[in-house]
Structure 1
Amino acid sequence: MKLATLILGSTMLATSAMAEDLSVVGSWSNLPLYQNFETPFWTQEIGSLTNDEFTAQLTSFDQMGVAGADVFRMLGDGLFDVGATVADYTVGDAPELEGLDVPLLATTVAQAQAMVDAAKPMVADIMRARFGSEMLGIAPYPPQVVFCRGAIASLDDLKGKKVRGSGRMTTKFLEALGAEGINIAFSEVPGSLERGVIDCAVTGAGSGFSAGWWEVSDTLVALPLGGWDPVVIAMNGDRFDALDAEAQETLKTAVAEGLETPAWDAAEGGLETYLACLTGNAACPVETAAAMTLLEPTAADIEAARAILTTEVLPDWAGRAGDEWVTRWNDTVGTAVGLTIAQ
Structure 2
Amino acid sequence: MFDKARACVAAAVTAMAFATGASAQDYPKTELSVQGGWATAGIYQEIEVPFWTERLPSLTGGNVTASITSLNEKGLKGPEVFRLMRMGVIDFGTSALGYVAGDDPQNEGPDLAGIALDIETARKVSDAYKPALAKLYMEKYGIKLLMLYPTEAQVFWCNGPIESLSDLRGKKVRTGNRTVADFVEGAGGVTVTMPFGEVVTSLQLGVIDCAVTGTFSGNSAGWHEVTTHLYPLTVGWSPFMYAVNAKAWEKLAPSVQALLTEEMGKLEDEVWSAGAARTAEGLSCATGGECIFGKKGAMTLVPLAEADVELRSKLVNDVVLARFAQRCGDACMAEWNETVGALISAD
TM beyond 0.5: yes
Q: CA deviation at 1:245?
A: 4.0
Question: What TM-score do the two structures reach when normalised by structure 1?
Answer: 0.87
The change in CA–CA distance for 1:323 and 1:161 in structure 2 (over 3 A counts) is same
Q: Return the offset for 1:71.
A: 1.6
Greater alpha carbon shift after TM alignment, 120-129 vs 153-162 = 153-162
Residue 9 (structure 2) aligns with? none
2:102 partner amino acid = G
The answer as to 2:147 corresponding to 1:137 is yes
1:221 Cα shift? 0.8
Any idea what the Cα deviations from partners look like across 1:254-288, whole Å, max 9, x if unmatched?
2122x21111122335433321111111x222474
In structure 2, the partner of 1:4 is none
Question: Could you tell me which residue of structure 1 aligns to residue 226 of structure 2?
Answer: 216
1:50–1:254: 8 Å Cα contact kept in structure 2? no
Moved more, 152-161 or 312-321: 152-161
Q: Which residue of 1 aligns with 2:121?
A: 111
Q: 1:242 aligns with which of 228, 251, 254?
A: 251
Distance 1:121 1:192 in 2: 39
Deviation string 1:208-260 (CA, Å, 9 cap, x unpaired) is 112222122221110112x1111111111221122244432321212122x21
Structure 1: stretches of 5+ with no match in the other structure: 1-15
Q: Report the secondary structure of 2:145's partner residue.
A: strand
Work out the CA distance in 2 between the residues paired with 1:57 and 1:207: 26
User: Is the CA contact (8 Å cut-off) linking 1:94 and 1:126 kept in structure 2?
Assistant: no
What's the CA shift string for 1:33-83, capped at 9, x where partnerless? 212211211221122345645321112213322112222112211222111
Match of 1:271 in 2: 279
Q: Secondary structure of the residue that 1:268 maps to in structure 2?
A: helix
> Take 1:45 and 1:89, find their aligned partners in 2: how far apart are those partners?
29
166, 170, 177: which one aligns with 2:187: 177
The alignment status of 1:40 with 2:50, answered yes or no, reads: yes
CA contact (8 A) 1:223 1:296 kept: no
Map of 1:195 onto structure 2: 205
Q: Which secondary structure does the structure 1 equivalent of 2:79 belong to?
A: helix
Match among 103, 111, 115 for residue 101 of structure 1:
111
Amino acid at match of 1:174: V
Among all aligned residue pairs of Structure 1 and Structure 2, give the percentage whose two residues are the same amino acid.
38
Tell me the distance in 1 between the aligned counterparts of 2:313 and 2:72.
Answer: 34
The residue type equivalent to 2:129 in the other structure is A
1:334 aligns with 2:338: no
Cα RMSD, aligned residues only? 2.2
1:305 paired with 2:312, answer yes
- Report the Cα offset of residue 205 of structure 1: 0.4
Give the drift of 1:174. 1.0
Q: CA deviation at 1:153?
A: 2.1
Q: Structure 1 residue 88 and structure 2 residue 95: aligned? A: no
1:295 — aligned with what? Answer: 302
**Structure 1: how far apart are the matches of 2:45 and 2:279?**
18
Task: Give structure 2 stretches of 5+ with no counterpart.
Answer: 1-24
Candidates 254, 259, 263, aligned match of 1:254: 263
Q: Residue 286 and residue 57 in structure 1: after superposition, are their counterparts in 2 closer, same or farther (change >3 A)?
A: closer
Shift of 1:339: 7.4
Indicate how the Cα distance of structure 1 residues 287 and 18 shifts in structure 2: closer, same or farther if over 3 A, else same. Answer: closer
2 CA distance for matches of 1:105 and 1:271?
17
The answer to whether residue 173 in structure 2 is matched with residue 151 in structure 1 is no
Partners of 1:242 and 1:319 in 2: how far apart?
Answer: 40
TM-score (norm 2): 0.86
The residue that corresponds to 2:8 in the other structure is none
Match of 1:5 in 2: none
Partner Cα separation in structure 2 for residue 143 and residue 330 of structure 1: 23
Count of aligned residue pairs for this structure pair:
322
CA shift in 2, pair 1:84/1:50, >3 Å: farther
